[in-house]
Amino acid sequence: MQAAVPQSTEQTDEELFALVRENASEQAFRTLYRRYDKRLFAYCLRAMQTREAAEDVFQSVMALVFEKRQSFSGGSFAAWLFTIARNQTLNHKQKQRITTDIDDIAYSMSDESDRTGEDVLLSDALKQAISTLPEDYREALELKHFDGFAYEEIAHMLNISLSLAKVRVFRAKKMLQESLAPYLRELSTTNADEV
């Protein structure tokens, strides 16, 4: 009988996943699950745009991570996890046509209960502008700014070069600036008039 291997929150993701891969450690898997569940679900929700579809994809990703644990060949566990998530969202989208629901996207982005009216309006305008970006740019931007991935991880997840990952995020920001420019001008004019 094998002795239980204690897991600590100080262990890296890769160390914990080695325990999952080599020993099928449920405790290590639960620790990783707790580290990533909110972030991964937020990613799924943004990608799928409905709560129900996001829950389905989230569950399939977690099941696949455990089932395919032997295929992890090293590197960043987070990048591998989100690559699986990306592939699952793409597969799910191919099977179903999903309509955009801005309220579900807003749920994943932030809690607006303590924001001013202008903040909420700006947030809504930003969400709308993000939803109109080309898919490649939107995905890179969200991975960088909402999920906090480094450019290297984004490149790995999207299977593109590092420089292309940077270009996509940069161009997405430029498109957002252009799209939001009229709104921001109006907002600054309104604020100046109130002073």
H helix runs in the chain, sequence order: 13-23, 26-48, 51-67, 77-95, 102-109, 117-131, 135-145, 151-158, 162-194
10 Å CB burial of residue 71 (0-12, 13-18, 19+) is: exposed
For the segment 94-147, what is each residue's pLDDT rounded down to a tens digit? 666 433 333 343 444 444 445 555 566 777 788 888 889 999 999 999 898 888
Cα Rg of the chain (Å, integer): 19
HSE value, Cβ hemisphere, 13 Å, CA-based, for 117: 2
Determine the straight-line distance between the first and last CA of the chain, rounded to whole angstroms.
74
More confident residue, 110 or 35: 35
As a whole number of angstroms, the distance between CA 59 and CA 51 comes to 12
Q: How far is CA 111 from the centre of its chain?
A: 17
Q: Which of 110-119, 154-163, 171-180, 182-191 has the lowest mean pLDDT?
A: 110-119
Residue 30 confidence class, pLDDT cut points 50, 70, 90: very high
Give the chain's mean pLDDT. 80
Please, what are the domains in the chain? 1-109 (1.10.1740.10), 110-195 (1.10.10.10)
For the segment 61-88, what is each residue's pLDDT rounded down to a tens digit? 999 999 999 999 889 999 999 999 999 9
